[in-house]
Amino acid sequence: MATPRSSAGHLLELIRTGRARTRGELQRVTGLSRSTVGQRLDLLFAAGWLRAVPGSHSTGGRPSVLLEFDDRHAVVLAADLDTTRARAAVLDLGGGVLAGDSWDQRIEDGPERVLDRLAVRFAGLLEETGTVPGAVCGVGLSLPGPVDTSSGTVVRPPVMPGWDGHLIPERMRHRLHLRAGVDAAVPVLADNDANLAGLGEQRASFPDCPVFVLVKVSDGIGAGVVVEGRILRGVDGAAGDLGHVRLHDRPDVRCVCGSYGCLAAIAGGRALAGRLSALGVPAGSGADVRARLDAGCPDAGSLAREAGRRCGEVLVTVVTLLNPGVLMIAGDLAETHFVTGVRELLYQRALPRVTRDLEIVTSALGERAALAGAAAMVVEHLYAPDQADARLAALRPRPAGGSGA
C-alpha cells in the first residue's frame, strides 16, 4: 500500500510544484524504485493529468523527458460576487482565463436570484469556449462576507441579507446542472473575497513570501492573510475582518453591522462616498470615490488620504503581530492618496524592526485577484495528494465478478 509520501497523488504534487520534473528526480526525492515510480505515473497519465515534453539533452546525449501537469485536461468555473458587481470566468487549471464576463448586480437580491443568474452566465461562458459540461472539475466562489469553508455557508454577513446559513454549494450545483448540464456532484468551494484575493495575489506575484497580507478597501474593509502558503482563517473563519475593528474616538458613527465606530464605517468606500456627497460631489459607493480620485478631485484625495491614515491605525497592530513581508492594498481605494495615508501611520507608529523589510504595494491583478484565488483554491483542493488519490481510485475500473467485499 502506498504511503502518503509515495502515492501517485504525492508524485503529482512534486511535479505540479516543480520539485521534481523527471522520473529520475522523482526516484531521488521519494526513494521509490524505478518500477514503482513508473506504476504511479501510469495512473496519472491514464487520468490525463500529466503530459511528457522533450527536455534538454543529458550528458549522455539522450534527450530527457520532462513531466508536466496538464493544465488543459479540465476547467474551473470561478466567480467573484461583490455587493454591486459580479465577475465570472472559465479558467484552465493553471489559472489562465479562457473566457470571462462581468455585470451589475445587487448581492442583497439574495442567493436564489444571484446564483441562478450566475449559473446562466456560466452556461454562456462554457458555450463561448466550446467546453463540454463534463470538463468542469470544480467551482470556486468569492463572497463579500464571512464563510464557513467546511460547509460553504455564509455566516451572519452584514452586507448580504438573506444569505445567512444558506447552503450555497448545494444551490450552485443544482442551478449549474439545470442551466448548463454540469455534473450535479461537482465540487463547489466558497470563501471570503479578501481571502481569495490574497491567495490569488500571493500565488501570482509573491509565491515565496512566507507571510503575506492583503487588505481590500472598497465599500467595506477586509484582509486576507496567507501564511506559509495557506490562508489563515482562524477558528471560525473570521480572521481578517478588519472593517469591524472599533475606533473609540468615533463612537457616534453607526456601522451596517449595528455597532458604532467600526473602521469600515469611518474609512470604507461607502463612508467616503457619503462624506464626498455632503461636500457637493455626488458619490454612492467606493467605485464612485475611485472615479473621482482618478479624475483628480481634491476633496476625494483629501478624504482618501485621511481614510488611509485611519486604516493605518489598525494595520500597525496587524503588521506588528504578523510581521509580514508584503502588505498589499487592494480594492477601489488602492491608489496613491489612500496608500500614502497608510504609509504615514505605519512608519510613524510601528517599530523599525517590523517595517524594515516590509513591502507596501498595491494590487497587481486588480479585479481578477479574487477570480484567480477562487480558481487556485479549487485546483489546490482537488489535486492535493489525498484528494488526488481518492479521485484516481474512483477512476479505476472495478474488477469483474467477485463478492465486492
Instruction: Give residue-wise pLDDT tens across range 228-255.
Output: 999 999 988 889 999 999 998 999 999 9
Collapsing DSSP to helix, strand or coil, 333 comes out as coil
Question: What nine digits make up the cell of 287?
Answer: 467605485
Pairing state between β 326-330 and 211-217? parallel
Instruction: Give residue-wise pLDDT tens across range 181-231.
Output: 999 999 999 999 999 999 999 999 999 999 999 999 999 999 999 999 999
Q: What is the pLDDT of residue 157?
A: 87
Contacts of 345 (CB under 8 A, 6+ apart): 308, 309, 311, 312, 313, 315, 316
Give CA–CA dist 224/242, Å, rounded: 10
Give CA–CA dist 345/311, Å, rounded: 9
CA distances from 239 to 91, 175, 206, 242, 316 (A): 28, 30, 21, 8, 16
Instruction: Give residue-wise pLDDT tens across range 130-158.
Output: 999 999 999 999 999 889 999 999 988 88
Give CA–CA dist 181/331, Å, rounded: 34
Question: What nine digits make up the cell of 112?
Answer: 436564489
Residues 83, 315, 194, CA angle at the centre, nearest 5°? 30
Strand ranges across the sheet with 211-217: 230-231, 221-227, 211-217, 326-330, 359-362
Question: Helices 23-30 and 8-16, interaxial angle, to 10°?
Answer: 120
Report the range out of 1-5, 77-81, 83-87 with the highest average pLDDT: 77-81
Burial of 269 (0-12, 13-18, 19+ CB in 10 A): buried
Give CA–CA dist 84/287, Å, rounded: 10
Instruction: Give residue-wise pLDDT tens across range 16-65.
Output: 999 999 999 999 999 999 999 999 999 999 999 999 998 764 555 566 79
Give CA–CA dist 140/202, Å, rounded: 17
The separation between the first and the last C-alpha atoms of the chain, rounded to the nearest angstrom, is 18
Q: What is the CA radius of gyration of the chain?
A: 24
Hey, CA dihedral for 160, 163, 167, 168, is it positive or negative? negative
Q: Work out the percent of the chain whose per-residue pLDDT is above 70.
A: 95
Give CA–CA dist 296/316, Å, rounded: 29
One DSSP character per residue, 54-102 reads EEEE-TTSPEEEEEEE-TTSSEEEEEEE-SSEEEEEEEETTS-EEEEEE
Are the beta carbons of 105 and 166 closer than 8 angstroms?
no
Q: What is the pLDDT of residue 60?
A: 56
Among the residues of 262-399, which ranges form H helices? Answer: 263-267, 269-278, 286-294, 298-322, 336-349, 352-355, 369-382, 385-395
Give CA–CA dist 275/92, Å, rounded: 43
> Which amino acid, 169?
P
Residues written for the chain: 405
Q: What is the pLDDT of residue 88?
A: 98
